[in-house]
Amino acid sequence: MSIESSAGRAFAPGHITGFFEMHDDPDPRRKGSTGCGVVIDGGIDTIVTRGVGKTEVYLDGASVKADTTCSLIEQLVDFPVHVNCTSSIPIGCGFGASAAGSLSTAYALNDAFSLGLTSNQLVEAVHIAEVSNGSGMGDVEGQYFGGVPIRKVPGCPPYGVLDRVPSPSFEVHCIVLGELSTGSVLNDAGLMRDINSAGRSALRSLLARPTVTNFMEISKQFTLKCGLASDRVMDAIEAVGAAGGMASQAMLGDTVFACSVEETKKDVFDALSTFAEVTTYNVTSCYEHPVKF
Ligand SMILES: Nc1ncnc2c1ncn2[C@@H]1O[C@H](COP(=O)(O)OP(=O)(O)OP(=O)(O)O)[C@@H](O)[C@H]1O
Ligand SMILES: CC(C)(CO)[C@@H](O)C(=O)[O-]
């Protein structure tokens, strides 16, 4: 329901990718990534109203360029929109912020202006905006699916095929050490060859044993193979391992995400704290059970 006439509000969660493979295709709906990640309870909360003159996007109070969100809006409506995003995830650090900002905008527009679109139609519009701007390749599919989504076939519905690592809810602890531009990695053909070959075998291994522990282990192996990690990222991953937890690099960011069983949670948190401020998010999932990886 709209919060007032011609205003809409929606939240979309962040998504951290552990490993991925890119798939090119002339049809943007089929172009995208396969891989696996986690959907977190931090994300972007967006309010939209009809704009005056031109579309404007504000993020945490400041005006931003937001090309992805602007291309999404152009697909859905033919009038200017005022977009006000509030984020509880870092931007440009591997949390899928461009997709979360665009997906929340899509839901809010659908509500505010009674567009009558389904979730799949909104996801398709965001997916097209993401791949045509090179800001993401599969985050939006993960975000709408939730939990620990496995992207088995690239693209938006009905082309993309998703599944999930079955798991109760658990926490992920994150540290951001810097920024990594998604575009600069995706446009580097040499780097992408290594990433794609590592991503393909990672997906095969995960599907053979789809558990959170295996996801974390495979993501770490992927991080080691594709060489995107800074020294500090590698040191933090090692420190978490020594503290009894599991950690990997958030793709594509200069960011580490970690999880652990209850017994080592404090040690893992303390280990990460020596590198940077730790933010803890919850990964919601399909069933409830005391966490036991
Ligand atoms: N509605 C929005 N809210 C926030 N950022 C947005 C929005 N639309 C577009 N953006 C832009 O997305 C960029 C961040 O995207 P980028 O792909 O670099 O990282 P990310 O989406 O946070 O992480 P990932 O590496 O997981 O894709 C920022 O420059 C920001 O301006
Ligand atoms: C390309 C990517 C790793 C970073 O944005 C992510 O969008 C994904 O998993 O497709």
Question: 167-283: which CATH number, 3.30.499.10, 3.30.70.890, 3.40.50.1100, 3.40.50.410?
Answer: 3.30.70.890
Per-residue model confidence (pLDDT) at position 121: 98
Spacing, Cα 116 to ligand 2 middle (Å)? 29
pLDDT of residue 287: 65
User: Whole-angstrom Cα distance, residue 245 to residue 104?
Assistant: 33
Say what the pLDDT of residue 68 is: 97
Quick one: pLDDT at residue 258?
98
Residue 4 has pLDDT above 80, yes or no: no
Given a cut of 90, is residue 123 above it in pLDDT? yes
Residue whose CA lies nearest to ligand 2 atom number 5: 136
Q: What is the mean pLDDT of residues 52-77?
A: 97
> What is the predicted pLDDT for the residue at 293?
62
Considering only the top CATH level, what class is 7-163?
Answer: alpha beta
**pLDDT of the residue at 2:** 44
Mean residue pLDDT of the chain comes to 95
Least confident among 30-34, 81-85, 187-191, 249-253? 187-191
pLDDT > 70 fraction of the chain, expressed in percent and rounded: 96
The ipTM is 0.92
Domain extents for the chain?
7-163, 167-283
pLDDT at position 184, please?
A: 84
- 73: closest CA among 112, 25, 43, 44? 112
**Tokens matching residue 166:** 């079955």
CB-count burial class (<10 Å; 0-12, 13-18, 19+) for 194: middle
Look up the pTM and report it.
0.95
Does the pLDDT value for residue 57 go beyond 70?
A: yes
Quickly list DSSP for 144-179. HH-SSEEEEE-SSTTT-EEEE-----EEEEEEEEE-
223 lines ligand 1 (CB under 6 A): no
Q: Is the pLDDT at 33 greater than 50, yes or no?
A: yes
Q: Which residues are CB-contacts of 118 (< 8 A; sequence separation ≥ 6)? A: none
The yes-or-no verdict on residue 84 having pLDDT over 80 is yes
* pLDDT of residue 78 exceeding 80: yes
- Centre of ligand 2 to C-alpha 49, Å, is 29
**Mean pLDDT across the stretch 247-255?**
96
Whether 35 is in the pocket of ligand 2, judged by its Cβ within 6 Å, is: yes
**What's the pLDDT score for residue 288?**
65
Going from the Cα of 244 to the center of ligand 1, the distance in angstroms, rounded, reads: 32
Ligand 1 contacts CB of residue 185 (under 6 A) = no
Q: What share of the chain is helix, strand, coil (3-state, %, to 5)?
A: 40, 30, 35
Asked if 154 and 49 count as a contact pair (C-beta separation under 8 A), the reply is no
Q: pLDDT digit string (tens) for 268-293?
A: 999 999 999 999 999 987 666 666 66
* Token pair 């919060």 in the structure block, residue: 3
pLDDT of residue 180: 86
pLDDT at 1 over 60: no
Best of 15, 82, 135 to mutate for ligand 1, by most ligand atoms within 8 A of CB? 135
Residues 90-107 have a mean pLDDT of 96
Of 86, 91, 102, 131, the one to substitute when testing ligand 1's pocket (max ligand atoms within 8 A of C-beta) is 91
Ligand nearest to the CA of 21: 2
Question: What pLDDT score does 200 carry?
Answer: 98
The structure tokens listed for 134 are: 């090179």
Ligand 1 in reach of 59 Cβ (< 6 A)? yes
Q: Which two tokens stand for residue 143?
A: 């975000």
Atom index in ligand 2 nearest the CA of residue 142 equals 9
- If one counts every other C-beta atom within 10 angstroms of the C-beta of residue 193, the result is 10
